[in-house]
Amino acid sequence: MLYDIGIALLRIIVIFAVALLFVAYLTYLERKVIGHMQVRMGPMRVGPHGLLQPIADGLKLFFKEDIVPTEAYRLTFYFAPLLCLICALILFAVIPVDKNFMITRLNIGLLYILSIASVGVMGIILAGWASGSKYSLLGGLRSAAQMFSYEIFLGFSLIGPLMIAGSLDLVKIVEAQKIPLIVYQPVAFVIYIIAALGEINRVPFDLPEAESELVAGFHTEYSGMKFAYFFLAEYANMLIVSAIATIVFLAGWKGPILPGWMWFLIKMFIFVYFFIWVRATFPRYRYDQFMRIGWKIMLPIVLANILVTGVVMMLVRG
């Protein structure tokens, strides 16, 4: 009993420490990769090649003055960033890095992730509402519309693969894949990636925080650690959607020669790199265009994909 708790605690500590470290260094990675894509160096000052930059950033944010606008609803204003961060971090609990390495194995793992992610959106809406600023409010409204609708496509795009895998348990989904599901479900994969970009608010769909229009959208009024929570949550979410893509479409930890967790990380960082690359390449969609793409193009495609998957499964399996 005690032994089990000890092991569980150890796992929690290891996975969370690694997750937080990854999240912090993801900011560094992004700045470096984009920097080199844009013919510049990225961070270079703190430590060799700027390696200590994320730590310096964290310290800076930690010691910043904590400003609360007079118009803000205090309680909600404090609560919103925490909600965002907590929702992002507890998602790591069910991610199977290797066959036996995860904090907990839920038989409804995927459903858990989707539902917790939806709660995370509430944090952003609350932040926009509680700030008492028009820019924040517009940003919050945008994200309400955007993230809720894109969650739908995200969920629907995962249904096709789920039908083939036959389980919501992330471990079983991986084990069901002799050939990575991306081969059977290319359409669902593409839709998933697009919806994921929308879900994690990244270019070309970074409308809630559209810098040039809404200053910084929902987190305009946030500073110091509260801002850092949003920031961390955003990058944690990026890791999560990459991890789900790895598990559902690229057969998770499976791969020759290298140990499982290594394969998992390699595959996950392919997606992370892709998201960063997209940011360096594309302009931003306008809010209404973005919603139109979602409801008028992506939704029918996703539904058709589910239908076709079902029909083919009926025919093949009898």
Partner 1 sequence: MAVKEEQQFKELMAKGTSLGQVDEDIMRQNIRTQDLWVNMGPQHPSTHGVLRLILALQGERIVDTEIVIGYLHRGTEKLAEARTYHQIIPLTDRLDYLASPAMNFGYVLAVEKLAGIEVPERAEYIRVLMAELARISSHLLWLATHALDIGAMTVFLYCFREREMVLDLFEMATGGRLTTSYYRIGGVAHDLPEGFLDKVKEFCEIFPKRVQDYDDLLYSNRIWLSRTVNVAKISAEKGLALGLSGPSIRGSGVNWDLRRANPYSVYDKLDFEVAVFDGCDVYARYLVRRKEMLESCKIVKQCVEYLEKTEGPVMAKVPKVFKPPAGEVYFATEAPKGELGYYIVSDGSNKPYRLKIRTPSFANLIALPEMVKGQMVADVIAAIGSIDVVLGEVDR
Per CB under 8 A, 299 contacts partner 1: no
- Least distance to partner 1, CB of residue 291, Å: 11
Using CB under 8 A as the binding criterion, the count of chain residues that bind partner 1 stands at 28
C-beta closer to partner 1: residue 57 or 206? 206
Q: Which two tokens stand for residue 79?
A: 């609560």
Binding mask 221-260 for partner 1 (x = CB under 8 A): ----------------------------------------
C-beta closer to partner 1: residue 91 or 138? 138
Of 3-11, 134-142, 157-165, 301-309, which part binds partner 1 (CB under 8 A)? 134-142
Q: Which of 48, 179, 212, 296 binds partner 1 (CB under 8 A)?
A: 212
C-beta closer to partner 1: residue 260 or 294? 294
Binding mask 253-292 for partner 1 (x = CB under 8 A): --------------------------xxxxxxxxxxx---
Tokens 């060799």 correspond to 48
SS3 content of the chain, % helix, strand, coil (to 5): 75, 0, 25
- Residue pair 176/252 in contact by the 8 Å Cβ criterion: no
In whole angstroms, what is the distance from residue 315 CA to residue 87 CA? 41
Q: Which letter does DSSP use for residue 183 in this model?
A: T
Q: Which of 89, 138, 181, 251 binds partner 1 (CB under 8 A)?
A: 138
- Least distance to partner 1, CB of residue 285, Å: 6
- Least distance to partner 1, CB of residue 286, Å: 5
Interface positions, 31-50, toward partner 1 (CB under 8 A): 34, 37-40
Instruction: Give the length of the chain.
Output: 318
C-beta closer to partner 1: residue 167 or 223? 223
Q: What is the CA radius of gyration of the chain?
A: 20
What value, to the nearest 5°, has the Cα angle with vertex 73 and ends 68 and 77? 60
Q: Which of 210, 244, 247, 272 binds partner 1 (CB under 8 A)?
A: 210
Sign of CA dihedral 296, 301, 306, 310: positive
**Can you say how many angstroms the Cα of residue 166 is from the centroid of all Cα atoms in its chain?**
24
Tokens 């930059």 correspond to 53
Sign of CA dihedral 198, 203, 205, 208: positive
- Residue pair 83/126 in contact by the 8 Å Cβ criterion: yes
C-beta closer to partner 1: residue 135 or 274? 135
Per CB under 8 A, 106 contacts partner 1: no
Per CB under 8 A, 296 contacts partner 1: no
- List the one residue out of 163, 177, 313 whose CA is nearest residue 246: 177
Around Cβ 48, how many Cβ atoms within 10 Å? 7
Q: Which of 67, 211, 258, 295 binds partner 1 (CB under 8 A)?
A: 211
Give the three-class secondary structure for 255: coil
- Least distance to partner 1, CB of residue 207, Å: 8
> Would you tell me which residues interact with partner 1 (CB under 8 A)?
34, 37-40, 134-135, 138, 203-204, 206, 210-215, 279-289
